[in-house]
Amino acid sequence: MTFDSATADRWTSIALFAMGVAMLIGGYTMDRLEIRQIHPASIPGLVPMILGAAMMLCAGLLFLSARAAHSAVAADRGEHPKHSSAESSPNLFFAASYSVVYALALVGSMPFALATAIYIAVFYIHFTWDKTAPIHQRLMRVGYGIGFAVIGAYAIASLFQYGFLVRLP
Amino acid sequence: MDGLLALAQAFEQMATSQMLFHVIWATLLGIFVGSLPGLTATMGVALLTTLTYTLERDAAITVLICMYVGAIYGGSRSAILLNIPGTPASAATALDGYPLAQAGRAGYAMALATAGSAIGTLVGILLLVMLAPPLAEAALRFGSFEFFWLAVFGIVISGQLTGGITPLKGYIAGLLGLMVAMIGSEGIHAHIRFNMGIPELNGGIGLIPAMVGAFGFAEVLTVMWRAKAKVVNAAGEKDRILPKLADLWRYKFTIGRSGIIGTMVGIIPGVGEDIGAWASYAAARRTSRERAQFGKGSYEGLTAAETGNSAVVPGALIPALTLAVPGSAPAAVLIAALFIHGVRPGPMIMIEQPDFIYSIAVMLIFATISIAVFGLFLTRFFVLVLKVPREILMPLVFTLCVIGPYALTQRTFEIWVMVVFGLLGFILRQMNYPMAPLVLGIILGALLDKSLRRGLTLSDGDLTPFFTRPISAVFVVIILASIILGIPTVRKAISRGLDRLLKKQAKGTADG
C-alpha cells in the first residue's frame, strides 16, 4: 500500500470518520454553561458538532469514491505526468526518526548548541557516507562534517541567545 | 489622488538606509529559499517570522514581504534549470522554462521570468492600492452573519481550487484545519475545548509552530526522500541575461492579463500562487498565436506563468489586510506576523491604521525592484546556489524549525506541535491533501465559530438572517454553486450538455 492509493484513502476515511464521531460526541457532551445562563445558541459545543458531522459526511464520501477518484487522478497524470523522481524510503526513515529524536529527546537534555552540533554532524555524515571511498576521504568527510556542525550549531545558538535574547532549551 | 499622496508619504517614510539594508538581505534570502527545491515561500516566511520578533513593525513586515516576493520569484530558477519547481508556484514555469534551458536559452529564460515576475508584482500592487481601501470599507458592513459565510466561503473555495480534480480532499483538509482551531479557549465564553488534559493546549495550537512543521519539517523530509536533482548543463550561462524590450512589448497583453488574473486569484481566500500561475498560463495558451509552442519552450508561456504567480502576492494581501482572510498560505503566516507586531488586519484597518496599506505597497515595490536587480545581475550566482548540497542545508533548516517556534513562547511544547504537524503534513501531502485549506481552516476557525454563535445569539436562534441578508445570500449562492460544480458527475453532465448544445448549434448553422 502506498500513500497515494485507493486502499490508503479507505483507511484514512475510516480514521477521519472516527475523528468526526469523536468531535460530534465531544461537542454534544461539552459543558453547555447553563450555570452562566448563556444563550443556548452560543454553546461552545455547537461548531464542533457541526464540524464532526461534516467530517463524517466527507469521510463517507471519501470511502465510497476512493477507487473512482484514483482512476480519475491516474488518467489526469497520464496527460500531465508528475516529475519522475526515485524515492528512498531508508533516507526518509532516517531523516524522520533522527530529526524527531533530536527535537524531542536531544534538545532539552543537553545544551542546545551541543545537541544541534551532534544532530548536524551525524545527519551530514550519514547522508554523505560512501563505503567505497578510500579511508582518508572518509576521514576527511567526518572532519568536515564535525567542523561544519560545530560552526553551524554555535552560529544558530548564538543568534537566538544573544541576538534575540532567547533562553535556549 | 489621496491614494497617490499617501503612497508618496509612505515611500518617503520608508526609504531609509536601514530599510533598504533589510530589503536587500531579505530579498536575497527569499530568492535563495525559493531557488532551492523543497524550500517554499511559506516555510521561508514562517521561519523568518521567528527571526523578526525583535525588529520594529515596519522593518519586520518589510523583511517578511521581501522574503515572500523573493521566494516566489526564486522558484523559477530551479524550475528552469532543474525542471523541479523551487516552490509549487513555479510548476507552470518549468513547462516552458526547462525546454528553453535544454535548448541553451537558460539565461534568457531567467531574464524573461525576472521581467514577468517584476511586472506581475507591479500590476498586483496597483490593484492592491486601488482595491484594498474600498474593500475594507465594504467589509465594515459585514456583520456576524456575513463573516460566518466568508469563513465558509474561504474553506470551500480553497478546498475546491487546491484539491485538483478531487476537491473532496481539499474540503477534508479545510475541515481538519477548522477542527484544529477548535482546540483551546473559545472566543465567546472562554470555555476550554478539547485540551485532552494537556494544560499547554488551553491557549490553542499556535499557527507559527503548526506552519513551520507542515511546511518546514515536512519539506525537509520530502527533500531527503526524493532523489537528488541535477542542474541542467547551463549552456545558457553564455546566453543573454537581459530581456529584450521587443519581447516584452510583444507579450504586453499576455503580461497585463496574467497580472490581473494572478491578482484576482490572489484575492480568493487560500488559493495561492500555483493556481495563479496555472490560470494565467491556461489563458495565455488559449489565446496565443504560438499555441503549439506551449510546453516546448514558449517565451509567452513562461512570461504568463511567472507574471501570474508573482501577481498573486499583492493580490493575496488584499483580503489578508482588509478581511484578515489570507489569499495564500504565506499570507496566512503574514497575518500571524502582523498580529505579533501589533497590526490588527481586518475591516478596521482603514480606520485604525489607514496608511498601513500604502506602507505595504511600498514594501512590495522595494521587493520588486530588488528581484529585478538581483534577478538580472546575479544570474550566475543563483545557478551556484542550486548546487548547495541538501545534506548541508536540510539539518540547518530543521534546526531553525526547532528553535524558531520555541523562541516565540519559550515553551518546549511548541517543538512538539511542530514535529506532529511536520509528520502529519508530510503524510497528508503524499496522500494529495492540499495544505492551503488546512492552514486557512486554522486561521478561519475562530472567525467561523464566533460569527456563527454570535449571529445565532443576535437572531435568538433564528437561522433566517444567515440566508436573507443580501451579502449573506450572495455568499450562500456562490458556496452552493461551487460545491455542486465540484461534484464530478455534475461537472460531466454539464460538459456533456454543453457539447450537445454546441453540436446542435453547429448542425443548425450547417443546415441553414
- Kindly report, residue by residue over B249-259, the tens digit of the pLDDT: 888 899 999 99
Q: Say if B233 is an interface residue toward chain A (CB within 8 Å).
A: no
Which pLDDT score, from 0 to 100, does residue B238 have? 56
Average pLDDT estimate for B209-227: 87
In B, minimum Cα distance to A128 occurs at B391
B456 and A156 in contact by Cβ < 8 A? no
Taking CB atoms and an 8 Å cutoff, what residues of chain B touch A12? Answer: 431
Residue B421: closest CA among A51, A159, A103, A167? A103
How far apart are alpha carbons B51 and B60 in whole angstroms? 9
Which pLDDT score, from 0 to 100, does residue A75 have? 63
Which pLDDT score, from 0 to 100, does residue A131 have? 85
- Mean pLDDT of the residues in chain B: 88
How far off is chain A from B77, nearest CA to CA, in Å?
Answer: 16
How far apart are alpha carbons B67 and B69 in whole angstroms? 6
Q: Is B357 left (phi over 0), alpha (psi -120 to 50) or beta?
A: alpha
Of the ranges A95-109, B222-236, B242-256, B479-493, which is most confident? A95-109
How far apart are alpha carbons B329 and B332 in whole angstroms? 5
- DSSP label at residue B199: G
A85 and B226 in contact by Cβ < 8 A? yes
How far apart are alpha carbons B278 and B305 in whole angstroms? 7
What is the ipTM metric for this complex?
A: 0.91
Taking CB atoms and an 8 Å cutoff, what residues of chain A touch B426? Answer: 96
A41 and B169 in contact by Cβ < 8 A? no
Q: Is the pLDDT of residue B38 over 70?
A: no
Q: Provide the chain A residues 14-53 that lie in CB contact (below 8 A) with chain B.
A: 16, 19, 23, 26, 30-31, 33, 36, 38-48, 51
Taking CB atoms and an 8 Å cutoff, what residues of chain B touch A76? Answer: 164-165
Q: Which residue has the higher pLDDT, B502 or B424?
A: B424
How far apart are alpha carbons A36 and A18 in whole angstroms? 32
A91 and B224 in contact by Cβ < 8 A? yes
In B, minimum Cα distance to A5 occurs at B431
State the pLDDT confidence band at A62, using cuts at 50, 70 and 90: very high
Which pLDDT score, from 0 to 100, does residue B235 have? 46
Give which of B82, B225, B442 to mutate to test A binding, by max A Cβ within 10 Å: B225
Q: Which domain holds residue B47?
A: 2-468
Q: Provide the chain B residues 8-27 that lie in CB contact (below 8 A) with chain A.
A: none
Which pLDDT score, from 0 to 100, does residue A15 have? 96
A73 and B432 in contact by Cβ < 8 A? yes
A80 Cβ contact list (under 8 Å, min separation 6): none
Instruction: List pLDDT tens digits, range B409-423.
Output: 889 999 999 999 999
- DSSP label at residue B185: E
A104 and B83 in contact by Cβ < 8 A? no
Residue B275: closest CA among B303, B318, B316? B316
Which of these ranges, A18-22, B178-182, B258-262, B343-347, has the smallest mean pLDDT?
B343-347
In A, minimum Cα distance to B165 occurs at A73
Instruction: List pLDDT tens digits, range B65-83.
Output: 999 999 999 888 888 887 7
- Whether B399 maps to a domain, the answer reads yes
Which pLDDT score, from 0 to 100, does residue B29 have? 92
What's the number of domains chain B is made of? 1
Among A51, A58, A92, beta carbon nearest to B168: A58
At B385, phi and psi to the nearest 5? -55, -40
Map out the domains of chain A as residue ranges. 6-79, 89-163
Q: Say if A167 is an interface residue toward chain B (CB within 8 Å).
A: yes
Return the SS3 of A87. Answer: strand
Q: Say if A73 is an interface residue toward chain B (CB within 8 Å).
A: yes
Which pLDDT score, from 0 to 100, does residue A93 have? 94
Residue B486: closest CA among B45, B163, B185? B163
Average pLDDT estimate for B204-233: 83
How far off is chain B from A1, nearest CA to CA, in Å?
Answer: 12
Contact between B63 and B307 under an 8 Å Cβ cutoff? The reply is: no
Report CA A134 to chain centroid distance, whole Å: 37
A92 and B457 in contact by Cβ < 8 A? no
Instruction: List pLDDT tens digits, range A28-42.
Output: 999 999 888 899 999
Contact between A52 and A24 under an 8 Å Cβ cutoff? The reply is: yes
Contact between B195 and B205 under an 8 Å Cβ cutoff? The reply is: no
B391 and A124 in contact by Cβ < 8 A? yes
B416 and A104 in contact by Cβ < 8 A? yes
How far off is chain A from B456, nearest CA to CA, in Å?
Answer: 6
State the pLDDT confidence band at B121, using cuts at 50, 70 and 90: very high
Average pLDDT estimate for A128-156: 92
State the pLDDT confidence band at B101, using cuts at 50, 70 and 90: confident
Taking CB atoms and an 8 Å cutoff, what residues of chain A touch B406? Answer: 166, 169
- Whether B321 maps to a domain, the answer reads yes
Residue B408: closest CA among B42, B46, B29? B46
Q: To the nearest whole percent, how much of chain A has pLDDT over 70?
A: 90
B391 and A128 in contact by Cβ < 8 A? yes
State the pLDDT confidence band at A76, using cuts at 50, 70 and 90: low
Q: Is the pLDDT of residue B308 over 90?
A: yes
Give the number of A-B residue pairs with CB atoms closer than 8 Å. Answer: 189
Q: Is B207 left (phi over 0), alpha (psi -120 to 50) or beta?
A: alpha
Which pLDDT score, from 0 to 100, does residue B236 have? 46
Among B168, B220, B452, beta carbon nearest to A99: B220
Which pLDDT score, from 0 to 100, does residue B395 have? 94
Average pLDDT estimate for B237-245: 65
How far apart are alpha carbons B158 and B272 in whole angstroms? 9
Q: Is the pLDDT of residue B37 over 80?
A: no
